[in-house]
Amino acid sequence: MGIISWIIFGLLAGILAKIAMPGRDSGGFIFTVVLGILGAAVGGWIGTQLGWGTVSGFDLRSLGLAAFGGVVVLAIYRALSR
């Protein structure tokens, strides 16, 4: 996927992670996208390590893994920012 696709994918993953873990966080739109992109990478890595296949395209499974990774990244960020 190209960089624009990863940004859009990261935005969607960041929004889904924010919906799953609502709360007040410092940062706005750009921060949500960055957390989503990091979450997509983390979710893809976790999914690959667990044997769920590789994340090579934009599909529902990849979006779910990215959102899961976004929740993990957001939980780590909240734990470190306290």
Rounded Cα distance between 9 and 81, Å, is: 25
Is pTM beyond 0.75 here?
no
**Crossing angle for the helix pair 60-81 and 3-20, to the nearest 10 degrees:** 60
pLDDT above 80 (res 4): no
Segments forming the whole domain that contains residue 66: 3-81
Domains in the chain, number:
1
The pLDDT of residue 3 is 65
pLDDT in tens, 22-70: 777 666 667 777 777 787 788 778 888 888 766 666 777 777 777 788 7
pLDDT above 70 (res 79): yes
The pLDDT of residue 22 is 73
Rounded Cα distance between 43 and 4, Å, is: 19
Rounded Cα distance between 40 and 62, Å, is: 8
Instruction: Mention every residue, 6+ apart, whose C-beta is less than 8 A from residue 62.
Output: 9, 40, 44, 55
Rounded Cα distance between 21 and 81, Å, is: 15
